[in-house]
Amino acid sequence: MKDQSIQYRFQAVQVLVRDAGIYALQWFRNRDTLQIEKKGAQDLVSEADRSVENMIRGRLQTFFPEDGFLGEESGTRNLDAEGIWVVDPIDGTSCFLNGLSSWCVSIAFIVKNEIEIGLIYAPCTDELFASQRGFGAALNGKPMKPSKATSLADGIVGLGYSPKSSIEATQKAFNYLLKSGGVYHDIGSAALMIAYVAAGRYLGVYEYQINSWDCLAGIAMVRETGGWTNDFLANDGLLTGNPVLTASPGTKEAMQKLFAAAGH
């Protein structure tokens, strides 16, 4: 796929991700009326998730009918395509449904296992995190800069957990971080936490097992700001998920040690 084609997609979908976020925000402000289903332990889905994903999917199919699609709620289309959109319509659904602001719309675009585009829009704060491979990453149009920290004691690490994860591995990661003098957050949205690494707000993020739609956009941003991530797409990570580890440039070694301490 030519660079110009990717650039066009990057520009067009920045508009789409904002539109989707504004649409989701309307649902958020009327969330008491939502129909909610339980997919599993601590795993909820609402009509808002499905409605926002249908809007994104429809717009992408109109603009780029040749592209593939992988969405959290509506599944796959044309995964043999050269380029594939990977979408989480509302990352942080539990936060969304409980009136917390830490949720977002996350869209990534991959070509031959390379994450070419990462877009995350947080409607409650009106923050658009955007990256295109080889062209850097920006927050509301201004270049993002990662933390300059060299120790886990110098900032915040995001640690995610869900009942699908290993309790033991997560406990080991906690223990390593706390013994290293660090502190942790789990704001309920992996996509936002990883974007925060690119933006210099967090030092790194670890979660034992996560889906591709939760993290690919953020991973693209971390890499574009000089940070480090594991190879999430290895071993069919696109469809089956993987552990995720991201680090600011100066905390790569420390976060890798946390990863090892967790048993990876």
pLDDT in tens, 128-170: 999 999 999 999 999 999 999 999 999 999 999 887 777 999 9
Mean pLDDT score of the chain: 93
**What's the confidence (pLDDT) of residue 33?**
79
Q: Please list the residue range(s) of the chain that carry CATH number 3.40.190.80.
A: 152-261
Percentage, residues of the chain above pLDDT 90:
84
Q: What are phi and psi of 137, to 5 degrees?
A: -140, 145
**What's the confidence (pLDDT) of residue 26?**
92
**What's the confidence (pLDDT) of residue 162?**
82
Structure tokens at 192: 């936002």
Question: Average pLDDT of 205-233?
Answer: 97
Task: Please name the residues in contact with 89: beta carbons below 8 A apart, sequence gap of 6 or more.
Answer: 20, 24, 48, 49, 50, 52, 53, 56, 71, 72, 73, 105
Give the model confidence (pLDDT) of 72-89 as tens digits.
888 899 999 999 999 999
Instruction: Judge contact between 202 and 244, C-beta under 8 A.
Output: no
**What's the confidence (pLDDT) of residue 38?**
61
**What's the confidence (pLDDT) of residue 32?**
84
Give the model confidence (pLDDT) of 19-68 as tens digits.
999 999 999 998 887 766 665 544 456 788 889 999 999 999 999 999 99
Task: Give CA angle at 217 (163, 201), nearest 5°.
Answer: 80
Instruction: Judge contact between 28 and 46, C-beta under 8 A.
Output: no
Structure tokens at 237: 């990570």
User: What's the Cα-to-Cα distance from 74 to each of 7, 33, 42, 56, 70, rounded to whole Å?
Assistant: 26, 22, 20, 11, 8
Q: Rounded to an integer, what distance in angstroms lies between the CA atom of residue 222 and that of residue 193?
A: 11
* Residue 208 neighbours by CB distance under 10 Å: 23
Closest CA to 107 of 204, 177, 212: 212
Q: Which amino acid, one-letter code, is at 65?
A: P
Question: Average pLDDT of 16-20?
Answer: 98
Q: 152-261 in CATH: which number? A: 3.40.190.80
Q: Please list the residue range(s) of the chain that carry CATH number 3.30.540.10.
A: 3-143
Q: Hey, what CATH topology would domain 3-143 get?
A: Fructose-1,6-Bisphosphatase; Chain A, domain 1 (3.30.540)
pTM over 0.85? The answer is yes
**What's the confidence (pLDDT) of residue 75?**
82
**What's the confidence (pLDDT) of residue 42?**
44
